Amino acid sequence: MKEIKITIFGAEEKCASCIHLPSAYETMEWLEAAITRKFPDREISFKYCDIENANYSTDEEKRFSEMILNDEYFYPLVVLNGEVIAEGNPHLSSIYKVIENM
């Protein structure tokens, strides 16, 4: 099975259109719990990346953070193995489908 690395990008401050939604970090916690429960036999790692923190650990984190800050994507942005799979208000069913097809 292919390794699955999920990174959720966000900021402490919610965007104006997202005030009724959980924070990006809370979204990451929720996704981690739901995905881990759905796929207990898969090795899936989760990481949260604060887009306003300039201490990015990879070029990918820097690139996606800059794209969000430049309004190319909404956050929370969900990236699976370098591919955007959800943004804004992520839907579990669509994320499940991507993982099932790996």
- How many distinct structural domains can be found in the chain? 1
Q: By residue range, what is the domain housing residue 60?
A: 4-100
Residue 28 CA, distance from chain mean position: 6
Tokens of 22: 């959980």
Task: Identify the CATH number of the domain in which residue 54 sits.
Answer: 3.40.30.30
Average confidence (pLDDT) over 8-33: 82
pLDDT mean across residues, the chain: 91
What would the pLDDT profile of 43-92 be if each residue is shown by its tens digit? Answer: 999 999 999 887 888 999 999 999 999 999 999 999 999 999 999 889 99
Of 73, 76, 72, give the one whose Cα is nearest residue 13.
76
- Three-state SS string over 28-47 comes to HHHHHHHHHHHCCCCCEEEE
Of 30, 33, 27, 31, give the one whose Cα is nearest residue 14.
27
Residue 28 in contact with residue 44, Cβ under 8 Å?
Answer: no
